[in-house]
Structure 1
């Protein structure tokens, strides 16, 4: 009996830590979005390549003794992760924003919790949870309320936004086996490295004529994105996936637009409204609902 109680307590503690890590990652990403306003005139893919490159260097320096060698199948998965979850996501998002309002693109990408709640368990060989799907639906509804603006009358723009959604989901789904095999720290380091290389290739192919050194403000923004939204957020997110189910972690993706809204309002770059704050409250309710489910320990053997 005592062994069962101890195991239950350990699972409960791990679930709590996982939710805190997922929340921390989402807060880091959301608070960093405002920094991108300083990069509107800087070559986009070049900025992403520099951002991921700095993050990869920081992570490699911090975890140099904890980075195992990978086999060919793991290397292939890392490349797919970089191509979809980092480079692919950014390419689709940039192209989508040229055709649809940022709020529309954000609302589409806000469906991340639902996609992860549905496909995350399937990837792990489990059936989707009704509770997780319900929590994801609540979070997504709130995220759409927070982000929605403009009209969605461009099918190609919506398709590109859906591509960004797929890339955002791949950032978690493709990484799950890597987190299990090589650990969260190595997964974060190798993902940032792959993102830097692939974004750099795209930048050289598409932005070579416009390449330039960043200004002081742009350098600060890139540095913040590299440290907070890349090195820090990647490590926290993958550490969370090592402790809680991906569908539970996915609910915290809804925190990103809420933090972006709050940070933007504080910095004077976003408009607030009662409706948007109501959406933030809906997101909060969904996240709490998901987190309460995560705290339930598995029955002891």
Structure 2
């Protein structure tokens, strides 16, 4: 596991440097869910693939930018599912973006998720790692010697103040629209950049709030990917004392994975906001 986490640190540094100078144009390809691939997405995926291919304990790689599972070592036990550059379309306006990693043991199931991590490429390079259940995630920051220094453990407050509301509002259900309005009526502040990593990182570091990406009229199964984005962050949030749901079940970690590029509605936050949402959605 330490070798895998060291590799995540290495690729985060490399991608952070690449973002500063790489071509921001689109490639000629689409990923498995139909999004046009930026050249930077493809390059970030190549950096990660090259680094992880050196590690004997990694069985396979599953990426948002790969159509199929990449088998590396048949008899190894770890499968890494990752989003190489979340929010990449915002790089051209210099917003914070990031990479997300889920480390699964033997199978791509929520119960097999043994560690998760994400990096944030902003004014500073930061990395959050959660290594096992019942252990709080830790924040690391790159120092002047190009080493990641541990800053602190991360804990969610019981109730927050931030409201990051995703998806096109005209596609929201009446239930969701009414619920989000009730939070604003209660005094919550809107904080939404369009990069999942940046928005969830802000809520986690500020102590609490709600991130929501609901089902919409044009995306009834949501838009965010289960294996690459949703489950790693659910693992981190719940180990930080927060809560999650898909609007149907009590936890995102109870989702049944049926296909590699599966999507889902998702909600992450402090316990207060998630309890409020579950009540609104009759969960």
- TM-score bucket (shorter structure): under 0.3
**Who wins on radius of gyration, i.e. which is larger?**
1
Q: Which of structures 1 and 2 has the larger relative contact order (alpha carbons within 8 angstroms, sep 6+)?
A: 1
More helix by share: 1
Report the TM-score, using the length of structure 1 for normalisation.
0.25
More strand by share: 2
